[in-house]
Amino acid sequence: MLYNVLIDPFVQMAGAPDLFVQTIWEGLVAGVLYALIALGFVLIFKASGVFNFAQGMMVVFAALTLVGLHEKGVPAWAALLLTLGVMAILAIAVERVVLRPLVNQPDIILFMATFGLTFIIIGLGEFIFGGEPKQMIAEELGLPQGTMRFDVLGGKVLIQKIDVAAAVIASLMIAALALFFQYTRIGRALRAVADSHKAALSVGISLNQIWVIVWFAAGIVALITGIMWGARSDVSFALQVIALKALPVLILGGFTSIPGAIVGGLIIGIGEKLAEFYWGPLVGGGIENWVAFVIALIFLMVRPQGLFGDKIIERI
């Protein structure tokens, strides 16, 4: 028993290095996607202090809108633009209907409001586009198809081109966001709001405007994530369970750190794929659904402030 848990998986890893590399790659790709969801989340949390539970649903909603519009006969590029418009409307609606009336309420109330938002987004998406799973229009959007084979350590590693594209696009987007935050006027305002709402208000920054911008930015991130994700599997709200895995990622990375989101995403992605592949069979498989949460839980017990957070000092 102990052998099976502690030693055998590592023997397997050493015995078939190509499989090991393949697993790592799979984990890396999943990790990038988790990181992307977490990124949209961090954006919102930084600027409005809202723990946006609905971010995962926004990803699915964006993908669903894109595919749904295309199914109705809209050309791919137009559908992409229209979806961006829909995400902008969503951002404005959220600011008007949810954030503005709830400003200055305890965080936990806003947190629960995003549960409500989650259900609204699910209901809306399925009501308009139907509940059945859909295919992502990856080809029409000009994303690369097919696979590449590499010879690694005496074996073969399969890499989907779309995954490479996902990693590249994700890196570009993160770089763009970092530049945006660092060097633009709005970026500076965003950072100010993140530090203190009141102080930002007092120097004439419009909170409402900032919130719309942030939620829209999160919407764009959601759309890109949705495209990448949809290309790997079907688009439907059954993805909800996977989308929730952005939460352990956030626990690892901390709620306000973009590098944290990325590193956390990769750790969770790789960790759960390795666990599933090497330890999963011991207990009947399917452990992917909870390993991420358990990793986060153990991590929480050791370091509640996250990878890059400061130690929390309680005051009274």
> Which residue stretch of 5-13, 59-67, 211-219, 287-295 sits at the interface with another protein (rule: CB under 8 A)?
287-295
Q: Does 198 bind another protein (CB under 8 A)?
A: no
Q: Does 111 bind another protein (CB under 8 A)?
A: yes
Reading the block at residue 172, the tokens are 């570009």
Q: Does 234 bind another protein (CB under 8 A)?
A: no
Reading the block at residue 314, the tokens are 């309680």
**Coil, helix or strand at residue 89:** helix
Q: Does 151 bind another protein (CB under 8 A)?
A: no
Q: Does 201 bind another protein (CB under 8 A)?
A: no
Q: Which residue has the tokens 């690369």?
A: 144
Backbone angles phi, psi at 169, to 5 degrees: -65, -40
> Which residue stretch of 76-84, 98-106, 189-197, 222-230 sits at the interface with another protein (rule: CB under 8 A)?
98-106
Q: Are the C-beta atoms of residues 42 and 217 closer than 8 Å to each other?
A: no
Closest Cα to residue 275, out of 298, 307, 255? 298
Q: Which residue has the tokens 């369970």?
A: 241
Q: Which residue has the tokens 């004439």?
A: 204
The correct pick among 98, 136, 231, 242 for binding another protein (CB under 8 A) is: 98
User: How many residues sit close enough to another protein to count as binding (CB under 8 A)?
Assistant: 52
**Coil, helix or strand at residue 313:** coil
Q: Does 102 bind another protein (CB under 8 A)?
A: yes
Reading the block at residue 23, the tokens are 């697993």
Q: Does 86 bind another protein (CB under 8 A)?
A: no
Nearer to another protein, 13 or 290 (CB): 290
Q: Are the C-beta atoms of residues 99 and 212 closer than 8 Å to each other?
A: no
Nearer to another protein, 151 or 314 (CB): 314
H/E stretch holding 273: helix 258-274
Q: Does 37 bind another protein (CB under 8 A)?
A: no
Closest Cα to residue 218, out of 198, 246, 182? 246
Q: Does 248 bind another protein (CB under 8 A)?
A: yes
Q: Does 122 bind another protein (CB under 8 A)?
A: yes
Binding site for another protein (CB under 8 A): 51, 97-98, 101-102, 105, 107-109, 111-113, 115-124, 126-127, 130-131, 240-241, 244, 247-248, 250-251, 255, 283-287, 289-290, 293-294, 296-297, 300-301, 304, 311, 313-314, 316
